[in-house]
Structure 1
Amino acid sequence: MTAVRTVLGDLPPAELGITDAHDHLFMRSAALPGQDLDDAEAAAAELRRFAALGGRTVVQWSPFGMGRRPAELVELSRATGVQVIAATGLHRAAHYPPGRPERWYPRLADLFVEELTTGLHTQDDPDSPLTGARAGLIKVAGDFHHLDAHTRTVMTAAAQAHHRTGAPVGVHLEHGSAAADVLELLCAGLGVPPSRVILGHLNRFPDLGAHRAAARAGAFLGFDGPSLANHETDWRLVDTLVSLAGDGHADQLLLGADTTSAAARGNPGLTWLLTRLRPRLVEELGEEFAGAMFVRNPARAFAVEWVAGS
């Protein structure tokens, strides 16, 4: 059955609606001390503002071991009416305490499959109890302009989990770099179809030639912001999207806020996507294009023909 897997269950892709394709409601990282995202009330308020503007779905890219708080994701989705797609997978090694990811390596593929098919672990521990909420995305990460040993280990496990379930693979590109390396490993090397790969943070590396190459390869291209991490390249975003659409890639483009609550880190919040960016895209390319980026493309990117038994 083709479905989008949310924390409240599977949905027909047509019910996804307007989607923030890349965000973080909860997150904890060893690389970002003092910047934990752990305010459920702020997240709920932001989701309600998003819903009031017509937003229907948020894709939460925080992977295993980074304070996802799956039980609260379920509560937030029920309370606000916003559908939440959760992620399994692992981030870059720098986001975990030293030595911790290595202890998980022997069981990574099974861990990812378990979270996609049975339920997310309640704690940042593969031996913790499972919730009933399942992941709908495998999140992995490249390193800056290269793929280190940790990345290759995690991507190999993610590819195995994809082949066992059909789940899409979302890729954090560090500062938007190494897209070609990622596609070479995941697709050419490990057999993941490019149409099942979502490249994130491309706006942080505004090389239109690299974007076109990734699009020609068949991947989904994720552009996210605004945020303090992206502000130096945000001004190029609309022109980049217009150029890629003009090249025939409008059906491969995804948008995310990647800002969590408006209060977090001084960012403008999810609503910027609909109050500021969407009107610009309508002005430049029309309602049809805006509808593709916010509704139809996410419905295809996150819809899965789930393998029997998953």
Structure 2
Amino acid sequence: MLGDVAPESLGICDAHDHLFLTSPQLPGQEMDSVNAAGQELAAFGEAGGESLIQWTPYGMGRHAGKLPSLSRTTGVHVVAATGLHQAAHYTAELLDHLRAEGLADLFVRELTEGIADTGVRAGLTKVAGGFHGLDAHARWTMEAASEAHHATGAPIAVHLELGTGALDVLDLLCGKLDVPPGKVILGHLNRSPDLAIHHRAAEAGAYLAFDGPSRAHHATDWRMPEAVQTLTEAGFADQLLLGGDTTTSGARATNGGPGLPYLLRGVRPRLELAAGKDVVERMLTVNPGRAFAVEWA
């Protein structure tokens, strides 16, 4: 938000979270309060957090123009995203407009010139798959994201619906669209604790994000340590990331939920027992620095 930052300067990083997010899929749970976002980011900083990657994409209440002041006030680096989520989060009229305008052009513009009327340049493109597959909307957004990557060098972060479809995503992005696997970040793998799929995705060279501990997913907390330990033992510790993915106002720490600080106060010590402090430190510092690094094309 405050200019380019060297990868090694990110410090302890929440690799997938949201300060702002609104969607018709989450009625009454909008995260659109600047004051609440500031309190949450400050709480993360007090817990030791130094950077946060906001995956909120286009059209979902990013409030990109508010992020620089929040970053400056709290001392926490914030990275914004361009991109597009699943079709269910948007009106048909908006999607028709984006098809006419050119989705890849929008992504490239927000990555290079900045997000309209904010002065903020996005640092990644966020797209989404479907449940165990890719529909036409997902393919459209991923094709646009790949064009943006080839034009800018920016990484592509992917919401995997309930943690599924990782190999389909890699087949499309890396196989057909020639995106280097090291520029793809797969999110929510903990929601589908299939260790064989995790291994194949890591073997392909992608980054694997384990995120969402701030919400009650059926397999998130108690299976994640096993997954991290297994991947570490297989030699993939350098490809693992951690995030909180706070997406509702009720999940904020300021509203009585675990919120952003839980990643460091709850998840980190549990993972350290399984994989060791050195591995978890790498997941929170060195790995996100590499995963989100951009050599601007």
TM-score range, shorter chain: over 0.9
1:262 corresponds to 2:253: yes
1:238 corresponds to 2:239: no
Stretch of structure 1 that moved more, 266-275 or 140-149: 266-275
Give the equivalent residue in structure 1 for 2:234: 247
Contact residue 30 and residue 97 of structure 1 kept, 8 A: no
SS of the residue corresponding to residue 288 of structure 2 reads: helix
SS of the residue corresponding to residue 26 of structure 1 reads: coil
Of 187, 202, 208 in structure 2, the residue corresponding to residue 221 of structure 1 is 208
Give the equivalent residue in structure 1 for 2:114: 119
Contact residue 226 and residue 267 of structure 1 kept, 8 A: no
- Map residues 161-310 of structure 1 onto 2, 5 A cutoff: 161-259=148-246, 261-263=252-254, 267-307=257-297
Letter of the aligned partner of 1:112 in structure 2?
F
Give the equivalent residue in structure 2 for 1:32: 26
- Map residues 147-162 of structure 1 onto 2, 5 A cutoff: 147-162=134-149
Stretch of structure 1 that moved more, 254-263 or 210-219: 254-263
Report the CA distance between 1:262 and its aligned residue.
Answer: 1.8
Report the CA distance between 1:102 and its aligned residue.
Answer: 2.7
TM-score in terms of structure 2 length: 0.95
Contact residue 83 and residue 145 of structure 2 kept, 8 A: yes
TM-score in terms of structure 1 length: 0.91
The percentage of counterpart residues that share the same residue type is 58
Name the one with the larger strand percent: 1
For 1:29 and 1:225, the matched residues in 2 are separated by 17
For 1:131 and 1:15, the matched residues in 2 are separated by 24
1:135 corresponds to 2:129: no
1:21 corresponds to 2:15: yes
Which segments of 5 or more consecutive residues in structure 2 lack a partner in the other structure?
none
SS of the residue corresponding to residue 10 of structure 1 reads: coil
Contact residue 139 and residue 169 of structure 1 kept, 8 A: yes
Q: Deviations over 1:158-191 (max 9, x none)?
A: 0000000000000000111111110000010101
SS of the residue corresponding to residue 209 of structure 2 reads: strand
Displaced runs of 4+ in structure 1, greater than 3 A? none
Q: Quote the RMSD (CA, aligned, Å).
A: 1.4
For 1:144 and 1:36, the matched residues in 2 are separated by 24
Contact residue 253 and residue 259 of structure 2 kept, 8 A: yes
SS of the residue corresponding to residue 120 of structure 2 reads: coil
Contact residue 206 and residue 239 of structure 2 kept, 8 A: yes
Which segments of 5 or more consecutive residues in structure 1 lack a partner in the other structure?
1-6, 122-129
